[in-house]
Amino acid sequence: MFIIPYSFDSCVNSSTGCKVWKVSVFLTKGGTEIWETDNDMSDQEIINTYLTPNGFVGEGISKNGTFYFKLKKELTNFSDLYTWTEFLEKEQDIPDVPILRPFLWIGDEIGVKDDWGWADQCKEIQLGRYGTLLTLWSALSCLLV
């Protein structure tokens, strides 16, 4: 089973009217793979075994072999997590540690081809056995409305 803890934000650029969606996803292996377990567990068992011990607070839902867990930002201590940007800002290689990695979608609707060709770019980013970044955005688009 895949476990995807995430937080979500969106905004509209006031000058262009372009909508920007941001999802921050907890990934393993230096931010390259979706968190995965071999166990077939109930939603509550996943929360008790994996999420609560790691300081994640939020709500989850299982769909198609994946447990999506929307983090409650006000209750989750993000300072306890490595972030993608902290390594980039220091110009360091990202070590093989779990990190919170941001992804952006530019366009009016998540997961659909847009005028910028963003969907094509997202097809090229592989997230381990889970699939591509486009797969992730398409799945999350159903949960983010």
| Alpha-carbon radius of gyration of the chain | 15
User: Which amino acid, one-letter code, is at 142?
Assistant: C
Tally the domains of the chain. 1
pTM of the model as a whole? 0.85
Domain region containing 43 = 2-143
d(C-alpha 110, C-alpha 103), whole Å: 12
- List the beta bridge partners of residue 11: 20
pLDDT in tens, 106-131: 877 776 666 677 788 889 999 999 99
* Neighbour count for residue 4 (Cβ, 10 Å): 23
Q: Which residue has the tokens 């952006």?
A: 104
pLDDT in tens, 53-82: 999 999 999 998 999 999 998 888 887 787
d(C-alpha 75, C-alpha 139), whole Å: 24
